[in-house]
């Protein structure tokens, strides 16, 4: 038997006899050598390589578990300490899954976990870092971790996703504080509360991306009311941001860390350093428009405005708030806090006297600002004493959108313009898109991070964008079709979830996380009425055809109908078993359609909240949108649906063909188009009349 496979090759006589045989033999031999070399290259083990660790640093003292993520770590046999006073114990090693969208070269597909212990032999003072030798059969690598002092380090503790659940930070005197944490899941935010003095200088820096973390950090600072003080995204030559600010006024400030693309997971650790120095400049003079007017607008105008002036006193303009109320006392007396009735009310400990009467007491920083303004003699720096405060308070300027999105944002808001262009909520902007090609025609910026709803005025000449930043900011911005900013409404400390125009375009209803729906005059921007009634976020709002009623859907699993003129509750429908995310009126105005995460919509009579019928859609329903005589609904099973508004009968179905989770929808009868947005950042467009799929494209500038 021949030993080698190539010796059995047949000889082709037409090639020249023996010469041909030699040629074939040599050719086969060369192929064999190349094949063997390729196999050896494939089988060669990857030397161990650590890309990053979780956490990024360790704190001396208590034992700590460390995970090193990288390449070739699945065969590690030993992690050996090279630092006196530090011992190690190998816990596990092996393959790990890759986070969505990240290659193994960036995220690492293996990891090793070990425990560090600190003994009495640890030098004093301890070294700046601890070193370990990671040993594997196919090589070794050195791993170094910064070693931090316990009295200068804070380890993040979950949950801390909002101002009310923020983690308290105490800054040590004269030395930086390091915060070790991680953005543990998509859309997670970590909030830290810091006591600060007016004029105090803070230098805040994030280390993450530069040392291998998958986090693309975004850093923001907010005052006690949640208003944005400063923000930082990418630093100079790095994705790790830095903030260098002087605190504008005394009181708690909130430091917020998050991923700029709403990513998160076990591979998203960070290290934040906060350095504080004593005030080096005198405290800035208080400004009425910048510091005092926003407080009055947020807390006073709802009960002391043009339509409702309790106690005979108004606070909606500078001239009005200086006039005496029914008691005859001076609301504000220049240079005299004690004789200013308003100051006495906001600082009172008597619940029957303190203002706001039905709300939480004002924050200490707000009281301090009002007091200092009185002490300064009530200076006015606005446009006009008779102009409404809401028209003089400057809206915040939001950070610019990135040139491109490193990760596609969920498509949470869609709407068609009268010309058939598609408006889509992006990251800090609205994109104006050609629905046939997906090409971006223009970008409308100066918006908060997330847009939850885009609503066209019935006349088609302007649109409203609702949105915000979870737990930190909510607002509605009004734009012309060309992208010119007209007005900012409903500024608050948490998300705005929905916005709706009345049929005549004169009023705007806003649904917010504060469990209320508010009605604004569309031209002046003044608050007409705030309507409470829910026990949780209001996620959806709609007007009746004649504009006399407001309907709402809430996370408290109820849908409600209110009298728009008085705020009187007319009906509560409680048959939904999940948050209610969509609501519209029947054309006759006496029945409702409401949709929920229970994968269905219900039709019910407002009188006695009587159930009429329901229709299941096979997935959570995130929105109901009226389009002429129809209404459309997106569902989580990858399908959008069209129904007759008159009787609720299904007309047709629009299938993505991929099962992608649909979370938004828009429809245009004149353009004969329907579009849906997906959770993973794509837009699908169909012909409204036939369900023919016309286009699919990523939401990307």
Residue 620 is predicted with a pLDDT of 93
Residue 396 is predicted with a pLDDT of 76
> What is d(CA 159, CA 191) in angstroms, rounded to the nearest whole number?
9
Residue 413 has pLDDT above 90, yes or no: yes
Mean pLDDT of the 467-483 span: 88
Residue 679 is predicted with a pLDDT of 93
Place of tokens 């293996």: 110
Mean pLDDT of the 502-518 span: 94
Average pLDDT of the chain to the nearest whole number: 87
Residue 124 has pLDDT above 90, yes or no: no
**Could you tell me the domains of the chain?**
5-43 (no CATH), 49-148 (2.60.40.10), 151-277 (2.60.120.380), 288-391 (no CATH), 411-532 (2.130.10.10)
Lowest average pLDDT, out of 204-208, 305-309, 670-674, goes to 305-309
Residue 15 is predicted with a pLDDT of 36
Mean pLDDT of the 546-567 span: 96
> What is d(CA 432, CA 225) in angstroms, rounded to the nearest whole number?
33
DSSP annotation of 388: B
pLDDT band at 500 (very low <50, low <70, confident <90, very high): very high
Residue 43 is predicted with a pLDDT of 53
Residue 44 is predicted with a pLDDT of 61
Residue 655 has pLDDT above 70, yes or no: yes
Residue 26 is predicted with a pLDDT of 46
Residue 18 has pLDDT above 70, yes or no: no
Q: According to the per-residue pLDDT averaged within each range, which of 162-166, 293-297, 420-424 is highest?
A: 420-424
> What is d(CA 149, CA 159) in angstroms, rounded to the nearest whole number?
24
CA 227 to chain centre: 15
Mean pLDDT of the 214-240 span: 82
Q: What are the φ and ψ backbone dihedral angles of 345, each rounded to 5 degrees? A: -70, -45
Find out whether 270 and 213 touch, Cβ atoms under 8 Å: yes
Residue 552 has pLDDT above 50, yes or no: yes
Find out whether 344 and 354 touch, Cβ atoms under 8 Å: no
HSE on the CB side for 2, CA within 13 Å?
7
**Which carries the bigger pLDDT value, residue 598 or residue 392?**
598
Q: What are the φ and ψ backbone dihedral angles of 369, each rounded to 5 degrees? A: -65, -45
pLDDT band at 674 (very low <50, low <70, confident <90, very high): very high
pLDDT in tens, 602-614: 999 999 999 999 9
Q: Which residues pair with 543 in a beta bridge?
A: 550
Residue 146 is predicted with a pLDDT of 94
Number of Cβ within 10 Å of residue 560's Cβ equals: 26
Q: How far is CA 618 from CA 581, 663, 671, in A?
A: 16, 14, 28
> What is d(CA 135, CA 190) in angstroms, rounded to the nearest whole number?
35
Residue 294 is predicted with a pLDDT of 82
> What is d(CA 667, CA 416) in angstroms, rounded to the nearest whole number?
7
Residue 197 has pLDDT above 80, yes or no: yes
Structure token pair of residue 287 = 């400004």
Residue 247 is predicted with a pLDDT of 81
> What is d(CA 364, CA 194) in angstroms, rounded to the nearest whole number?
14
Residue 466 is predicted with a pLDDT of 96
Burial track 86-102 (b if 16+ CB lie within 10 A, e otherwise): bebebeebeebeebeee
pLDDT in tens, 26-35: 445 444 544 4
Residue 698 has pLDDT above 90, yes or no: yes
């Amino acid at each position: 038997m021949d030993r080698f496979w190539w010796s059995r090759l047949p000889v082709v006589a037409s090639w020249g006899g023996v010469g041909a045989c030699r040629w074939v033999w040599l050719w086969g031999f060369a192929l064999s050598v190349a094949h063997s070399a390729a196999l050896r290259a494939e089988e060669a083990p990857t030397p161990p390589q650590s890309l990053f660790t979780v956490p990024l640093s360790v704190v001396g003292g208590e034992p700590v578990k460390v995970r090193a993520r990288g390449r070739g770590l699945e065969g590690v046999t030993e992690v050996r300490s090279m630092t006196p006073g530090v011992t190690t114990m190998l816990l596990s090693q092996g393959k790990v899954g890759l986070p969505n969208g990240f290659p193994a070269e960036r995220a690492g597909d293996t990891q090793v976990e070990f425990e560090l212990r600190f003994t009495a032999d640890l030098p004093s003072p301890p070294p700046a870092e601890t070193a370990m030798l990671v040993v594997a059969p196919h090589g070794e690598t050195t791993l170094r971790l910064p070693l931090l002092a316990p009295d200068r380090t804070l380890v993040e503790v979950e949950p801390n996703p909002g101002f009310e659940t923020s983690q308290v930070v105490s800054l040590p005197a004269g030395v930086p504080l390091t915060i070790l944490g991680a953005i543990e899941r998509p859309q997670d935010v970590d909030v830290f509360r810091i006591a600060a003095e007016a004029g105090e200088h803070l230098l805040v820096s994030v280390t993450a991306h530069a040392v291998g973390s998958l986090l693309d950090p975004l850093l923001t600072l907010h005052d006690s009311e949640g208003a944005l003080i400063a923000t930082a995204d990418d630093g100079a030559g790095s994705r790790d941001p830095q903030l260098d600010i002087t605190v504008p006024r005394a009181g708690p400030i909130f430091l917020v860390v998050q991923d700029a693309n709403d990513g998160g997971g076990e591979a998203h650790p960070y290290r934040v350093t906060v350095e504080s120095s004593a005030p080096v400049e005198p405290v800035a003079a208080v400004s009425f428009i910048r510091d005092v007017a926003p407080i009055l607008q947020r807390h006073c105008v709802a009960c002391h405005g043009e339509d409702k002036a309790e106690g005979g006193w108004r606070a909606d303009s500078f001239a009005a708030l200086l006039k005496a109320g029914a008691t005859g006392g001076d609301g504000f007396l220049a240079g005299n806090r004690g004789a200013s009735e308003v100051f006495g009310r906001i600082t009172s400990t008597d619940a029957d006297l303190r203002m706001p009467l039905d709300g939480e007491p004002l924050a200490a920083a707000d009281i301090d600002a009002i007091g200092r303004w009185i002490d300064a003699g009530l200076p006015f720096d606005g446009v006009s004493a008779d102009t409404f405060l809401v028209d003089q308070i400057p809206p915040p300027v939001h950070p610019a959108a990135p040139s491109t999105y490193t990760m596609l944002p969920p498509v949470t808001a869609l709407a068609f313009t009268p010309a058939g262009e598609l408006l889509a909520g992006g990251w800090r902007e609205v994109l104006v898109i050609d629905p046939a090609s997906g090409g971006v025609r223009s970008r409308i910026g100066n918006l908060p991070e997330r847009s939850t709803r885009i609503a066209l005025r019935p006349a088609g000449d302007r649109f409203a964008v609702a949105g915000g930043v979870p737990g930190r900011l909510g607002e509605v911005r009004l734009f012309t079709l060309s992208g010119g900013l007209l007005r900012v409404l409903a500024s608050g400390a948490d998300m705005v979830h929905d916005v709706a125009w009345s049929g005549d375009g004169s009023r705007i209803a806003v649904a917010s996380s504060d469990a209320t729906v508010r009605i604004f005059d569309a031209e002046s921007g003044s608050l007409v009425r705030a309507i409470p009634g829910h026990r949780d976020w209001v996620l959806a709002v709609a007007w009746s055809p004649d504009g006399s009623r407001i309907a709402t859907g809430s996370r408290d699993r109820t849908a409600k109908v209110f009298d728009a003129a008085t705020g009187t509750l007319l009906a509560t429908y409680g048959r939904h078993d999940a948050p209610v995310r969509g609501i519209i009126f029947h054309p006759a105005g006496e029945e409702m359609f409401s949709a929920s995460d229970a994968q269905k919509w219900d039709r019910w009579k407002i009188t006695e909240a009587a159930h009429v019928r329901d229709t299941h859609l096979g997935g959570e329903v995130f929105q109901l949108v009226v389009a002429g005589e129809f209404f459309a609904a997106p569902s989580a099973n990858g399908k959008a649906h069209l129904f007759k508004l008159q009787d609720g009968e299904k007309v047709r179905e629009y299938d993505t063909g991929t099962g992608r989770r649909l979370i938004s929808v828009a429809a245009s009868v004149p353009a004969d188009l329907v579009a849906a947005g997906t959770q993973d950042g794509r837009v699908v467009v169909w012909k409204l009349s036939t369900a023919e799929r016309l286009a699919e494209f990523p939401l990307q500038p």
